[in-house]
Structure 1
């Protein structure tokens, strides 16, 4: 696993695969969500590899002075159910703590039940929708307080 930024070619490839998946899942709502998932100028992202193949990614972006937003989580279909997403999520949380954040927030969709299950297993809790997702029926917003490990 590596920490990098949005200029990394492997991230751009994984983000393109994620976008293809989301076009199908989001259907008519895709354009709305896509506006909040731009990949330019991201400074904190993680790429997971297996046998030198980029298989998963995830991003954190500052949302407030104390909250980091988790975005662009993706695992290639052939590598799902191997706990890779949990490892990426954990690495993002550790990085957020290092950067001084005390909370992670995220939005996912009702059409992504595997993502909801992943986050709930990682102790994220469903919360009221925030900012741009208020009133969006498909959105599921979640939060997790971050605690530095001794």
Structure 2
């Protein structure tokens, strides 16, 4: 039986958030054989709209954030789940938290960039309704980037009501 899983919003500089982002950078550096493979502007506390950490049985196991791009759009940044916690629901819990937060903040379009060697991430996003789009912003012309988007629908709105 899986233990308790919760996702909570934290400051960008929260120690658990910093540790998880560092683990992510190490994993990506190993795949791409270079220390920094960030093709765009590196996120900071000043430009992140929301950042969250997932806790499984009280231990930090994943993270992710939103960076507002414009009035209606945000970019998913630093989505990561530790290897030991993968396949146990943390990634979907983080994504759900970020999608709900995005809607609450009035952003109905989520974009993301993932690497061409991160096929688990690509499959995860595809399963969750994200579609490949032409590379946007900083990722234009970056051959190792795969960009995706999802248009969010606020399910609390009654679309049949006239």
TM-score by length of 2: 0.86
Query: Is the 2:25–2:36 contact (alpha carbons within 8 Å) kept by the matching residues of 1?
Result: no
Q: Structure 1 residues 34, 53: closer, same or farther in 2, change over 3 A?
A: farther
Tell me how far apart the structure 2 counterparts of residues 54 and 90 of structure 1 sit (CA, whole Å).
17
Deviation at 1:110, TM superposition (A): 0.8
Q: Is it true that 1:70 corresponds to 2:97 in the alignment?
A: no
Structure 1 residues 20 and 32: alpha-carbon distance in aligned structure 2, compared to 1, 3 A threshold: closer
Match of 2:4 in 1: none
In 2, Cα distance between equivalents of 1:86 and 1:14: 17
> Hey, what does 2:17 align to over in structure 1?
11
8 Å Cα contact 1:37/1:71 also seen in 2: no
CA distance in 1, matches of 2:127, 2:38: 24
CA contact (8 A) 1:6 1:43 kept: no
SS in 2 for 1:33: coil
Show the counterpart of 1:36: 41
What is aligned with 2:110?
A: 104
Give distance in 2, aligned partners of 1:58 and 1:80: 14
Report how many residues are paired: 149
The residue correspondences of 1:1-150 to structure 2 (distance < 5 A) are 1-28=7-34, 31-33=36-38, 36-41=41-46, 42-150=48-156
Q: 1:12 to 1:34 in 2, by over 3 A?
A: farther
Kept after mapping to 2: 8 A contact 1:4/1:43 = no
**What stretches of structure 1 move > 6 A for 4+ residues in a row?**
none
Provide structure 2 residue ranges, at least 5 long, that are not aligned to the other structure. Answer: 1-6, 157-162
| 1:32–1:81 CA distance, 2 compared to 1 (3 A) | closer
Deviation at 1:38, TM superposition (A): 3.2
Identify, as 1 or 2, the structure richer in helix.
Answer: 1
What is the rounded CA distance, in whole Å, between the counterparts of 2:74 and 2:49 in structure 1?
12
TM-score of the aligned structures, taking structure 1 as reference length: 0.93
Q: Give me the CA root mean square deviation.
A: 1.5
